[in-house]
Amino acid sequence: MEINWSNYKWESGQPWGTIHPDKTIQWYDPSAIVENSDGSLTFKTHYNPKYFDHLGVTSPIGIGLMTSSERFGYGTFEIDAKLPKGKQLWPAFWMYPTEGEYREIDIFEAYSNNCGNYLNFYINNIFSLWKIETNLHIKNEDDSWGSRGPKSKFFTWKNPAKNFNNYKLVWTPDELSIYYNDKLVRSADSDYVDACRDYKFRVLINNALRNDADITSSHKTSEFVVERFRYTPL
């Protein structure tokens, strides 16, 4: 399914298919992406079983995930979003190239807990009130899958499941920085910035379930609302 939104074209699902062979509890369901009257999009998780013959499995939960048709270069990428309410959810705003060696920029990945919220307060990390993280991925020299490690420094009194917050990446030839509500939460090291040089990235936005989610037919529909996507070229 093709989606026209925020002046760009998007595709429902991943370029390579509609289900991840190692995460079959959910599949990329076009009906889980809904355009609202105000121009925003809602990305759902809902009980909608679908059988995948090539895997021999029935995936119980349909999720909203879309990928930009366009490949973007340097610039600023941002969304205003209200996270979904519910247990064991995994909404995200991220990017990866479709040519060349794999890199992945997770502008945010949010993880709701078993109480259905994103609270993540620890006395030794007062700048991480919410379980909303950035991450950077790249292949290691031995071709194994590498992560630069998640970082969570999101402190705001605006509950991200009740209020819209701004999530932004600034990417230039010399900088790769992530901001939440215009507050810097992460800057990539120079090696990672160099590794992304001259690549073109596709943008993905999705609702999803955590890998350890407890799936039953009583799964309650969740709604991840994104007001807009904006790209400002360098």
pLDDT digits (tens, 9 = 90+) for 166-202: 999 999 999 999 999 999 999 999 999 999 998 999 9
Q: What is the model's pTM?
A: 0.94
CA dist., res. 76 & res. 201, Å (int): 12
CA distances from 165 to 129, 139, 150, 196 (A): 14, 31, 20, 27
Residue 140: which domain range? 65-233
> What is the tally of structural domains in the chain?
1
pLDDT in tens, 73-84: 999 999 999 999
Q: Is residue 59 part of a domain?
A: no
Give backbone dihedrals phi and psi of 79, rounded to 5 degrees, phi first: -135, 155
Q: Is residue 103 part of a domain?
A: yes
CATH code, 176: 2.60.120.200
CA dist., res. 81 & res. 44, Å (int): 13
| pLDDT exceeds 80 at position 66 | yes
pLDDT score for 101: 84
Q: Is residue 175 part of a domain?
A: yes
Q: Is residue 171 part of a domain?
A: yes
CA dist., res. 1 & res. 198, Å (int): 29
**For residues 110-137, average pLDDT:** 82
Q: Is residue 219 part of a domain?
A: yes
pLDDT score for 202: 98
**43 versus 154: which is more confidently predicted?**
43
Q: What's the chain's average pLDDT?
A: 92
**For residues 22-47, average pLDDT:** 97
Q: Is residue 86 part of a domain?
A: yes
Q: How confident is the model at residue 1 (pLDDT cuts 50, 70, 90)?
A: confident
Q: Is residue 37 part of a domain?
A: no
**For residues 52-66, average pLDDT:** 97
* Residue 163 in tokens: 């209020």
CA dist., res. 223 & res. 206, Å (int): 10
Q: Is residue 44 part of a domain?
A: no
